[in-house]
A and B are shown apart, each in its own frame.
Chain A
Amino acid sequence: QVQLVQSGAEVKKPGASVKVSCKASGYTFTSYGISWVRQAPGQGLEWMGWISAYNGNTNYAQKLQGRVTMTTDTSTSTAYMELRSLRSDDTAVYYCARDNRHENWFDPWGQGTLVTVSS
């Protein structure tokens, strides 16, 4: 079955960086993209950006431009999201999701990775 499995929870200090991984299985990795979405505690979903697993093209949310980098490793069917210069308001659950750009949907989603930013 199609599945995305993310790396474990992280605790970081303000100003540090975090890199979350998302390993895909059950489908042809390069036939879809991966979007990253985050959810702060008790808040709604926020789209962070997208990467094509086919050619590595990316598109990031404007508010995160310059702080976020999304990459893929097609040899291991794994996507990565790195966020730099962490602030307390980056504390959130980070999700990856398979992204079909042609029909514009996200399915399935990974289980989520809690990133806590605290001094």
Chain B
Amino acid sequence: QSALTQPASVSGSPGQSITISCTGTSSDVGGYNYVSWYQQHPGKAPKLMIYEVSNRPSGVPDRFSGSKSGNTASLTISGLQAEDEADYYCSSYTSSSTDVFGTGTKVTVL
């Protein structure tokens, strides 16, 4: 199972909106509404930010939103803040009943 494809880096100024893409195939992202997103600060464990494409766990700011079109899922951060600077990973369920992560995106707040 190949990793899902994400851009290596995305940047934005405070207050701006950025979008991170996550591209897979019809055997993973495109075939199921089981895409989740994780935020990871340096030296820390990942944190769940979005599940089932667009659902936010309690405690996650509504600045974070998710969507999907075809084989590509997206995470949008609106009103970018300094504390949003981190690595972000998507994950999807697959037709093999396994899970696969994306390649990861480093978000920089300028």
- Which A residues contact B (CB, under 8 angstroms)? 35, 37, 44-47, 49-50, 59, 61-62, 95, 97, 103-112
B57 an interface residue at 8 Å Cβ cutoff?
yes
Number of interface residues of B (CB under 8 A): 27
Q: Which 7 A-B pairs have the closest CB atoms?
A: A104-B34, A107-B48, A105-B51, A109-B45, A44-B104, A45-B101, A47-B99
On whether the beta carbons of A104 and B89 are closer than 8 Å, the reply is: no
**In the complex where A44-B102, A47-B99, A62-B1 touch, is A110 in contact with B45 (Cβ < 8 A)?**
yes
CB distance from B61 to the nearest CB of A (A): 16
On whether the beta carbons of B45 and A104 are closer than 8 Å, the reply is: no
**In the complex where A45-B38, A45-B89, A104-B34 touch, is A109 in contact with B1 (Cβ < 8 A)?**
no
**In the complex where A44-B101, A59-B97, A59-B98 touch, is A111 in contact with B45 (Cβ < 8 A)?**
yes
B40 (CB) vs chain A CBs: closest residue: A45
